[in-house]
């Protein structure tokens, strides 16, 4: 059942080469759409009362290596798989109709989507690592072939950083199995190992740095602005919207969940790390002159909230972090989609050259309006998707880390600052007569942004629909597997349930 989410895009990507070129886009959209529909069906079948993994699949693959083909879904995984399928379809839809070498492009996009789904579904650490590495190659090609002016540099930097990230994660995984004397890399097996706190701290270090590169956390972030900026719009949507979540997902699934005692030791430092990431991302975003780079740094800042929530480690903060992962993905996707349209129509991303796009006739008024909404959503304005997620992270983390939380609250204020700068310079002011001959934005070009905007508003008005998926996982990963039953009975955690809070 879950394998279909991996197989469908991979087989689909192969079939694209058999299609005539004019049908390739339609074919890719169909394959991606089927994955999305299948994911939607999984959402309908998911049992909220069952805190364990559902739809599990197991196949012994290489017992000598401890590598098993074990798939499963909990709330966190389901939400991430949903995000991947949704943004994968959006990214393919956003692709320009005249993209060069369309067969290869769409095939690579589908392979990335399939590999990322595999990583989110894998319940074997080595299998996770396998999928984590598999998506690297198609992404490298997507950046280096269809990227911007400095695509070669950006792609190489991305490859080196992510390869190093993979190596550190593999080191962590191997260390966990060897030191814990586990029989294999299966998640269920790893939850049973008993490691001393010092070993846990030791193993968390490579995992934190490995996943920290992917997220990215400062100072491991230097690959991100170049990569995001040089990537084409659909690839940037995948990178920012989905790929970055592999880092936070891995950290929660294999770091926090499996090495919880060590995590508690490092938690205050992680909270500081998260808050510094938030402030740094926001301040550097303020200084940017390129709107795509500004969005890229905004992404870094917002990932800090997720780390803060994870560091606090209670049900509430974790639920917020999980919701933040989804909201961050959707917001980043709409921002990259809009920035991509602006760049395509106006021919520049420079703040100094952009102005007056809100002009009702000669500007890009709808795109500007959506950009205003995206900026507001990113700044955590109530009624939009990010508000509930950020609020719950703060609510959950304030008890443990009040200072770090307050710093992050300031970070949300700074988010508003750079978005006001962006919107003020880009959308408002006088349209420059020299360059105000932009082509019209077609309804097809606007469609992805419309869809994302609807999601942002609907989940902003009804945040329970987003938060409900993360809560069971939050409970589960605090005290994994066998202790789940006991954990759900704890009144202290249950009283902090976001469902309760939002009523």
Partner 1 sequence: MTATLIKPTLPPSTHPFADIIHRLEAGGSMLPDTPENLKQIIGIYKAYAVPMDFYWRDLLYIGEQVFLNPLPFFKYFISKEYLQRPNDYACANCSPLILRGEAVVHPELMYFIEKGEAGRKLPKIMHHLWHGRVNMEFAEACMRSMFWHKDINPRFNDYLYTDTYKAAADKAIRAYFKRNPVMMGLYKLFPEMFLEKVRELSYYANLGLFWEVMAPVFFEMSDIYDEGGFAGVPDAMDFLVNGIFAVAGRPIYHHAYINGECFEIIPKSAGFTWLYEAALPYVEAIFYRTAPFRGTKSYNAQAKQVPAEQQNFHYGILYADLFPVGSAGIPPTLLMQDMTHFLPDYLLETYQEHGRGEDDLLNQVGVTFQRSMYNVTSAVIQALRCALLYPLDDTNPEHLKANREFFEQNLDRFTRPEARLKEIQKQKYR
Give the residue with the Cβ less far from partner 1, 22 or 440: 440
**In the bound complex, what is the minimum distance in angstroms from residue 366's beta carbon to partner 1?**
12
Chain positions 172 to 231 lying near partner 1, rule: CB under 8 A, are none
**Distance set, CA 13 to CA 3, 96, 131, 262 (Å):** 16, 18, 16, 42
**In the bound complex, what is the minimum distance in angstroms from residue 95's beta carbon to partner 1?**
24
**In the bound complex, what is the minimum distance in angstroms from residue 454's beta carbon to partner 1?**
24
**In the bound complex, what is the minimum distance in angstroms from residue 349's beta carbon to partner 1?**
21
**3-state SS track over 468-486:** HHHHHHHHHHHCCHHHHHH
Q: Is 61 helix (H, G, I), strand (E, B) or coil?
A: strand
Give the residue with the Cβ less far from partner 1, 134 or 372: 372
Give the residue with the Cβ less far from partner 1, 157 or 425: 425
Give the residue with the Cβ less far from partner 1, 20 or 360: 360
Give the residue with the Cβ less far from partner 1, 214 or 446: 446
Long-range contacts of 359-366 (CB under 8 A, 24+ apart): 359/431, 359/436, 362/431, 362/436, 362/437, 362/438, 363/431, 363/436, 363/438, 364/438, 364/441, 366/441, 366/446
How many residues of this chain bind partner 1 (CB under 8 A)?
12
**In the bound complex, what is the minimum distance in angstroms from residue 432's beta carbon to partner 1?**
8
Give the residue with the Cβ less far from partner 1, 141 or 436: 436
What contacts 402, CB < 8 A, 6 or more positions away?
A: none
Q: Do 154 and 161 contact (CB within 8 A), yes or no?
A: no
What contacts 332, CB < 8 A, 6 or more positions away?
A: 237, 240, 241, 295, 298, 299, 302
**In the bound complex, what is the minimum distance in angstroms from residue 453's beta carbon to partner 1?**
22
Give the residue with the Cβ less far from partner 1, 103 or 345: 345
**In the bound complex, what is the minimum distance in angstroms from residue 428's beta carbon to partner 1?**
10
Interaction of residue 489 with partner 1, rule CB under 8 A: no
Give the residue with the Cβ less far from partner 1, 314 or 359: 359
Chain positions 426 to 485 lying near partner 1, rule: CB under 8 A, are 430-431, 433, 436-437, 439-440
Nearest to 471 by CA among 331, 326, 317: 317
Binding-site string for partner 1 from residue 341 to residue 370, where x marks contact by CB under 8 A and - marks none: ---------------x--xxxx--------
Long-range contacts of 142-147 (CB under 8 A, 24+ apart): 142/105, 142/108, 142/109, 142/112, 142/231, 142/232, 142/235, 143/227, 143/230, 143/231, 143/235, 145/101, 145/104, 145/105, 146/99, 146/100, 146/105, 146/231, 146/232, 146/235, 147/230, 147/231, 147/232, 147/235
Give the residue with the Cβ less far from partner 1, 70 or 359: 359
Q: Do 274 and 215 contact (CB within 8 A), yes or no?
A: no
Tell me how far apart the alpha carbons of residues 322 and 45 are, in angstroms, rounded to a whole number: 20
Beta bridge partners of 122: 71
**In the bound complex, what is the minimum distance in angstroms from residue 451's beta carbon to partner 1?**
23
Count of residues making up the chain: 503
- Give the interface segment with partner 1, choosing from 19-27, 32-40, 425-433, 485-493 (CB under 8 A): 425-433
Chain positions 258 to 297 lying near partner 1, rule: CB under 8 A, are none
Give the residue with the Cβ less far from partner 1, 154 or 358: 358
Binding-site string for partner 1 from residue 104 to residue 143, where x marks contact by CB under 8 A and - marks none: ----------------------------------------
Binding-site string for partner 1 from residue 400 to residue 419, where x marks contact by CB under 8 A and - marks none: --------------------
Q: Do 404 and 271 contact (CB within 8 A), yes or no?
A: yes
Tell me how far apart the alpha carbons of residues 75 and 73 are, in angstroms, rounded to a whole number: 7
**In the bound complex, what is the minimum distance in angstroms from residue 423's beta carbon to partner 1?**
16
Q: Do 305 and 408 contact (CB within 8 A), yes or no?
A: yes
**In the bound complex, what is the minimum distance in angstroms from residue 434's beta carbon to partner 1?**
9
- What does the buried/exposed string (b/e) look like for 271-304 if buried means 16 or more CB atoms within 10 Å of the residue's CB? bbbbbbbbbbbbebbbebebbbbbbbbbbbbbbb
**In the bound complex, what is the minimum distance in angstroms from residue 430's beta carbon to partner 1?**
6
Q: Do 64 and 185 contact (CB within 8 A), yes or no?
A: no
Q: Do 417 and 279 contact (CB within 8 A), yes or no?
A: no
Give the residue with the Cβ less far from partner 1, 313 or 363: 363
**In the bound complex, what is the minimum distance in angstroms from residue 361's beta carbon to partner 1?**
5
Give the residue with the Cβ less far from partner 1, 443 or 492: 443
- Establish how many alpha carbons lie within 13 A of residue 404's alpha carbon, considering only the half-sphere containing its beta carbon: 28
Give the residue with the Cβ less far from partner 1, 58 or 435: 435
**In the bound complex, what is the minimum distance in angstroms from residue 440's beta carbon to partner 1?**
5
Tell me how far apart the alpha carbons of residues 238 and 139 are, in angstroms, rounded to a whole number: 9
Task: List contacts with partner 1 (CB under 8 A).
Answer: 356, 359-362, 430-431, 433, 436-437, 439-440
């Amino acid at each position: 059942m879950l394998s279909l989410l991996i197989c469908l895009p991979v087989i689909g990507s192969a079939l694209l080469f058999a299609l005539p070129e004019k049908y390739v886009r339609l074919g890719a959209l169909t394959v991606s759409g089927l994955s999305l529909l299948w994911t939607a069906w999984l959402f309908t079948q998911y049992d909220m009362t069952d805190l364990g993994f559902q739809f599990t699949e197991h196949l012994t693959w290489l017992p000598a290596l401890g590598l098993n083909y074990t798939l499963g879904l909990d709330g966190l995984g389901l939400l991430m798989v949903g995000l991947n399928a949704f943004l994968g379809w959006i990214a393919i839809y956003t692709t320009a109709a005249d993209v060069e070498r369309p067969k290869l492009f769409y095939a690579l996009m589908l392979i990335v989507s399939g590999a990322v789904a595999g990583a989110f579904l894998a319940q074997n650490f080595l299998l996770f690592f396998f999928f984590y590495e598999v998506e690297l190659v198609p992404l490298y090609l997507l950046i280096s072939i269809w990227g911007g002016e400095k695509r070669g540099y950006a792609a190489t930097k991305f490859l080196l950083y992510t390869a190093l990230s993979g190596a550190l994660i593999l080191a962590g995984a191997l260390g966990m199995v060897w030191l814990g004397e586990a029989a294999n890399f299966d998640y269920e097996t790893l939850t049973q190992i008993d490691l001393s706190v010092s070993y846990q701290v030791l193993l968390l270090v490579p995992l934190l740095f490995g996943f920290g590169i992917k997220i990215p956390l400062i100072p491991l972030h230097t690959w991100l602005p170049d990569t995001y900026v040089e990537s084409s719009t659909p690839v940037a949507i995948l990178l920012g919207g989905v790929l970055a979540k592999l880092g936070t997902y891995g950290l929660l699934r294999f770091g926090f969940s499996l090495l919880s005692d060590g995590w508690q030791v490092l938690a205050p430092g992680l909270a500081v790390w998260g808050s510094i990431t938030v402030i740094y991302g926001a301040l550097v975003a303020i200084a940017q002159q390129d709107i795509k780079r500004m969005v890229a740094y905004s992404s870094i800042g917002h990932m800090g909230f997720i780390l803060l929530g994870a560091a606090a480690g209670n049900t509430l903060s974790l639920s917020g972090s999980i919701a933040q992962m989804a909201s961050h993905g959707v917001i980043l996707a709409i921002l990259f989609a809009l920035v991509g349209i602006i760049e395509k129509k106006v021919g520049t991303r420079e703040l100094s050259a952009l102005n007056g796009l809100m002009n009702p006739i000669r500007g890009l008024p709808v795109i500007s309006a959506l950009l205003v909404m995206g900026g507001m959503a990113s700044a955590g304005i109530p009624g939009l998707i990010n508000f509930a997620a950020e609020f719950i992270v703060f609510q959950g983390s304030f008890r443990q880390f009040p200072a770090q939380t307050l710093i992050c609250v300031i970070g949300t204020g700074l988010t508003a600052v750079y978005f006001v700068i962006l919107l003020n310079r880009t959308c408002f002011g006088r349209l420059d007569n020299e360059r105000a001959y932009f082509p019209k934005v077609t309804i097809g070009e606007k469609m992805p942004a419309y869809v994302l905007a609807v999601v942002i508003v609907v989940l902003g008005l009804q945040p329970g629909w987003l938060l409900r998926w993360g809560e069971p996982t939050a409970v589960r990963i605090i005290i994994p597997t066998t202790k789940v039953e006991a954990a759900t009975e704890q009144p202290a955690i249950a009283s902090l349930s976001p469902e309760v809070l939002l009523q």
